[in-house]
Amino acid sequence: MSVGSATFHSVFLGPPGAGKGTQAKELVDRGDVLHISTGDMLREHVQGGTDLGRQAKEFMDSGRLVPDELIISMVDERLVRPDAAGSWILDGFPRTVPQAEALDSSLERAGAPLTHVIYFRVPHEGLIRRLTGRRTCSDCGAIWNVFTKPTREEGVCDACGGALKQRADDREDAVEQRLQQYNALTEPVLGHYSDRGILVEIDADRSPEQILEDLVSALQEASI
Ligand code: AMP
């Protein structure tokens, strides 16, 4: 399955743990798509010890959102790089209404509007388990879960043998804070897009294969 020749500018929206990053990585493996994850970008800044990383770390570790002005300029700068000229998926941005408004203005200036906002709908009850069970391979980035997708050997990646890590913000107290921030600040972003005809709702409480199938057909439907 590929995403075909459609060019799209897509936002993946939904609570933490809904599977947005996992699905974006699958789509990247199938076609010519750029995955822009603001969480991944921020984690690279933290690891690299940049100014932005130093400012963001405290917010991230406690499960709070990084201030809008920091994140908006980071995304603006990312979207003007040459590799963002084709299809892309924005994963984890926008997460507040001011971020959505800033994205609208940037894309309007660039003459390259959003083609899809994909809403990953999942029941919130299972999210704490999905997040606290999540482990990421420190070598290849594969995502596992001690409850729902365990590796053969605990702590070792099935794909490459790398060591698995738990993100600091996947611990229970930070997870609760992240879900609260989602409800208060990110859910209203759905309303921002609801009357534009680009919002597509996907039932993300199914197998990864079924979700991927729906995503591919949604992304093929409307394109630039
Ligand atoms: P994620 O990997 O998308 O769950 O993001 C991890 C953390 O990075 C979040 O809990 C926030 O602290 C921060 N972050 C990522 N994207 C954003 C955003 N669009 N706005 C504010 N903070 C963000």
State the CATH number of the domain containing residue 156: 3.40.50.300
User: What is the residue whose two structure tokens read 């993100």?
Assistant: 167
| In-domain check, residue 3 | no
Task: Answer whether residue 2 is part of any domain.
Answer: no
Point out the catalytic residue in the list 43, 57, 95, 130: 95
Residue 147, both tokens: 């409850």
The CA 84 to ligand 1 mean position distance, Å, reads 20
Distance 185 CA to ligand 1 centre (A): 12
For residue 1, being part of any structural domain is answered with no
Q: Is residue 111 part of a domain?
A: yes
Task: Give every CB contact of residue 79 below 8 A, 6+ residues apart in sequence.
Answer: 36, 88, 106, 107, 110
**Domain carrying residue 135:** 9-221
pLDDT at 1: 41
pLDDT of residue 75: 96
Long-range contacts of 70-73 (CB under 8 A, 24+ apart): 71/38, 71/42, 71/95, 71/99, 72/98, 72/99, 72/102, 72/103
pLDDT at res. 197:
85
For residue 179, tell me if it sits in a domain. yes
pLDDT of the residue at 3: 63
| Active-site residue flag, 171 | no
66 CA to centre of ligand 1 in angstroms:
7
- Is residue 70 in a domain? yes
Q: What is the pLDDT of residue 2?
A: 52
Q: Is residue 4 part of a domain?
A: no
Catalytic residue at 25? no
- What is the domain count for the chain? 1
Predicted TM-score (pTM) of the model is: 0.90
Note whether residue 169 is domain-resident: yes
94 preceded by a cis bond (ω within 30 of 0):
yes
Q: What is the full per-residue pLDDT of the chain (224 aa) written as tens digits?
A: 456 667 899 999 999 999 999 999 999 998 889 999 999 999 999 999 999 999 999 999 999 999 999 999 999 999 999 999 999 999 999 999 999 999 999 999 888 899 999 999 999 888 998 899 999 999 998 889 999 899 999 999 999 999 999 998 999 999 999 999 999 999 999 999 988 889 999 999 999 999 999 999 999 876 66
- Measured CA to CA, the distance from residue 90 to residue 188 in angstroms comes to 17
Give the per-residue pLDDT at 6.
Answer: 76
Cα torsion through 139, 3, 220, 19, rounded to 10: -20
